[in-house]
Amino acid sequence: MASLIAWRLVAAPHPASLEDYPRPPAPAALRLTTLGDPRAGALFWMLWLQTFDDQAGVTASFKKMDFAHLTAWLERILALDPGSEYPLLMATRVYGAVLDPGRQRLMIDFVGRAFRDAPERRWQWQALAAVQARHGLGDRQLALTLVEELEQRVPARQLPFWVRGLHVIILREGNEIEAAKRLMELMARDGGLTERQRQAVEMWRERLEELR
Amino acid sequence: MHHSRQHRGQAPSRLSAVAILAVLTLRMALRERLARAMALMIALCWAATWFLASLLVSDETGPQAAMLGFLLRLGSVFLTIVTVTFSLTRDLQNRGLEMMLALPYPRGVIWLGKGVGFSLIASLLAILDVLALLPLAPPGQALLWGVAINAELWLMATLAMLLSLALRQAPLALTMTVALYLLGRSMHSLLLIARQSAEIAAEHWSAVVAQQLLTVISWLLPDLERFTVTDWLLHHGGSLTALAPILTETALYLALLIAVGHLELRRRAF
């Protein structure tokens, strides 16, 4: 036992080397690795992907990693469990927060594709991608496109007040005052607003009038 | 035996004999510290889940229940197969089964008694699995999952019995049972790969034959992917209706496996 411990102490450590995300296997091959349990398998693969940047002796920077492969992994894992939100959470909150516009756009595109596959289940991730596009990427036009797509594909009554408010804010920031006013009139006409929300809409309308 | 019958009255009925054999099988397994092995397996699954859950960015309990369910299923199937295979191959080698067959009952009764005993072990495991899942999953969904894992374990216990009897050697029987389990569990993925290969190979005859062969094999194996659905623990979408095909399939395969096992036992000279 002592010789074993001594050997481990003197043996050379693993060389520190950085590996990039490998190309993911074909969907059916990835499914085979889950031993007939794609839901649980998706979770285990997600954890592997999530810890991939912590490698022996080195912590990889996302800025140096291949995000095209990462996006392909996220898509394959989401296909294993379409009901899971974890790949979308990681794409918006973790990988999408990397300070690199190209990589951020890849993540926003991934969320957009996932949203179009199941708009009513994944609208909140599209809304978060719009916030990311506006504040992370500074691309107001992309944020506007994402929010408009969101409102086209999901019934207004299903969307919370803050998502529709986000649309108003992006329009106002772009000086599209008339469009913002029309949207708020629609919100007021749709009904279903609480007293506080009605007050907020009224306040926004007054501010827009001042801006005009 | 006739002598003892005169002194002690009637020998137990066939039904009582099945019950006595079943209890004896369960007690033998428990004497060999099966309870400790079960507790250790569940503790290891809990520890692994706790560690993996600490890596998750989300603190929802659904993913934790799904991971625990996956590990418990693998652990329980492994423990059941190992228990049945080693118990039965040892009975075959130390002539314990021969002694039982010398009892004044048809061989089918002996076989059924052993089978019920192993099923009790499987059910005990399924109950412990459900209890381990309760802190992480809604009771209704955990219970559905428990019924399904019970069915899966019964099937695997019966398959392990049959293969142990037919192959007689524990390593060989264990390998075959595990291989058939993995095949049953992975059949959907294999069919998907075969279909895609046939498409890529532009319907070349060899790819089409492989696909047809795999389809025929899939008809012979239970559709284990439909059993013990992790989705119930993760997204809580299970309902009682989902159990109907599982229980029907279990009944059909159990009847088949018991019948084949019985034939093998009758055919075999001890």
Residue B1 lies in a domain: no
Using alpha carbons, list the distances in angstroms from residue B189 to A42, B184, B193. Answer: 14, 10, 6
What is the pLDDT at residue A103?
94
SS3 at position A59: strand
What is the pLDDT at residue B10?
67
Does one domain contain both A129 and A159? no
CB contact, 8 Å: B190 with chain A? yes
CA-based nearest distance A52→chain B, Å: 12
Residue B11 has pLDDT above 90, yes or no: no
Residue A202 lies in a domain: yes
- Say if residues A63 and A21 touch (Cβ distance below 8 Å): no
Main-chain phi, psi angles of B10, to 5 degrees: -65, 145
What is the pLDDT at residue A14?
65
Q: Do B70 and A86 touch (CB under 8 A)?
A: no
Residue B5 lies in a domain: no
**Owning domain of residue B47:** 13-267
C-alpha span between B220 and B256 (Å, rounded): 11
Domain tally, chain A:
2
Does one domain contain both A73 and A123? yes
Does one domain contain both A92 and A117? yes
Summarize pLDDT for B57-67 with one digit per residue, the tens: 888 889 999 99
- pLDDT bin (cut points 50, 70, 90) of residue B9 is low
Residue B228 lies in a domain: yes
The reply to whether ipTM tops 0.95 is: no
- Say if residues B249 and B152 touch (Cβ distance below 8 Å): no
One digit per residue, the tens of pLDDT, for chain A of length 212 reads: 888 888 888 886 666 667 788 999 999 999 999 999 999 999 999 999 998 887 766 677 888 889 999 999 999 999 999 999 999 999 999 999 898 999 999 999 999 999 999 999 999 999 999 999 988 888 999 999 999 999 899 988 788 888 888 888 888 888 788 788 788 777 777 767 778 887 887 787 777 777 66
User: Using only C-alpha atoms, what is the Rg of chain B?
Assistant: 21
Q: Stretch B138-167: mean pLDDT, rounded?
A: 95
What is the pLDDT at residue A169?
85
**Owning domain of residue A200:** 155-212
End-to-end CA distance of chain B: 19
Q: Do B55 and A37 touch (CB under 8 A)?
A: no
Bridge partners, A54 (sequence order): A59
Does one domain contain both A165 and A135? no
Does one domain contain both A85 and A131? yes
Residue B12 has pLDDT above 70, yes or no: yes
Q: Stretch B226-231: mean pLDDT, rounded?
A: 89
Residue B136 lies in a domain: yes
DSSP assignment string, B153-190: HHHHHHHHHHHHHHH--HHHHHHHHHHHHHHHHHHHHH
Q: Do B57 and A89 touch (CB under 8 A)?
A: yes
CA-based nearest distance A45→chain B, Å: 11
Residue A116 lies in a domain: yes
Domain tally, chain B:
1
- Using CB atoms, pick whichever of A35, A43, A50 lies closest to residue B67: A43
Residue B3 lies in a domain: no
Q: Stretch B68-77: mean pLDDT, rounded?
A: 96
Q: Stretch B122-136: mean pLDDT, rounded?
A: 96
Residue A69 lies in a domain: yes
Q: Do B190 and A29 touch (CB under 8 A)?
A: no
What is the pLDDT at residue B269?
67
Summarize pLDDT for B91-117 with one digit per residue, the tens: 888 887 777 777 777 888 888 999 999
What is the pLDDT at residue B6?
45
Q: Stretch B245-253: mean pLDDT, rounded?
A: 95
Residues 23..82 of A with a Cβ closer than 8 Å to B: which? Answer: 26-29, 31-32, 34-37, 39-41, 43-44, 47, 50-51, 81
Bridge partners, A55 (sequence order): A58
Q: Stretch B220-224: mean pLDDT, rounded?
A: 90
Does one domain contain both A126 and A172? no
- pLDDT bin (cut points 50, 70, 90) of residue B257 is very high
Residue type, B94: N
What is the pLDDT at residue B104?
77
Residue type, B235: H
Interface test with B, best of A34, A43, A51 (most B CBs within 10 A): A43
Residue B203 has pLDDT above 80, yes or no: no
CA-based nearest distance B264→chain A, Å: 31
Q: Which residues touch B235 (CB under 8 Å, ≥6 apart)?
A: A83, B62
- Using CB atoms, pick whichever of B63, B188, B196 lies closest to residue A36: B188
- Take residue A61 and report the two structure tokens written for it: 């920077």
Interface test with A, best of B49, B54, B57 (most A CBs within 10 A): B57
Tokens 């899939």 found at = B218
- pLDDT bin (cut points 50, 70, 90) of residue B2 is very low
Report the mean per-residue pLDDT for chain B. Answer: 89
Residue B30 has pLDDT above 60, yes or no: yes
Using alpha carbons, list the distances in angstroms from residue B232 to A147, B57, B67, B89. Answer: 33, 21, 12, 37
**Dihedral angle computed from the Cα positions of residues A136, A142, A143 and A146, in that order, rounded to the nearest 10 degrees:** -130
Residue B173 has pLDDT above 50, yes or no: yes
Residue A45 lies in a domain: no
What is the pLDDT at residue A124?
93
Does one domain contain both A174 and A211? yes
Measured over the CA atoms of residue A67, residue A72, residue A77 and residue A82, the dihedral's sign is: positive
